[in-house]
Amino acid sequence: MEKIFVCKTTQISVGQMKKISVNGKDIVVANIGGDYFAINDTCTHAGASLSEGKIEDSTIICAWHGAQFDCKNGKLIKFPAKINDLEVYNVIVEEDNILVEP
């Protein structure tokens, strides 16, 4: 599988996230305790960019309507209605480089 360079590990601090575009897909990469996770950046409820929301522990909270997703596995954690989980991408860290397999 193809690996695409995202950024350096120093560019995403612990508890932070960064939006990137890979092969036409918007992806958010999050640093959770020094481990990196990548999920689709588009909320499955109304299409908001999740990177414009906030992150608490491993939960990304959508800024528009408060949908909550686990950034480790893309699963919906909390929302008043059932919406789809997010697509998850494999993240590889080589030395200080973060790579994603789209």
In total, the chain counts a number of residues equal to 102
The pLDDT value given to residue 48: 96
Cβ atoms < 10 Å from Cβ of 56: 10
- Encode 60-73: b = buried (16+ Cβ within 10 Å), e = exposed: bbbeeeebebbbee
The pLDDT value given to residue 81: 87
Structure tokens at 79: 């929302």
The pLDDT value given to residue 23: 86
For the chain, residues with pLDDT lower than 70 are none
The pLDDT value given to residue 1: 75
Cβ atoms 69, 50 nearer than 8 A: yes
CATH number of 4-101: 2.102.10.10
The pLDDT value given to residue 80: 86
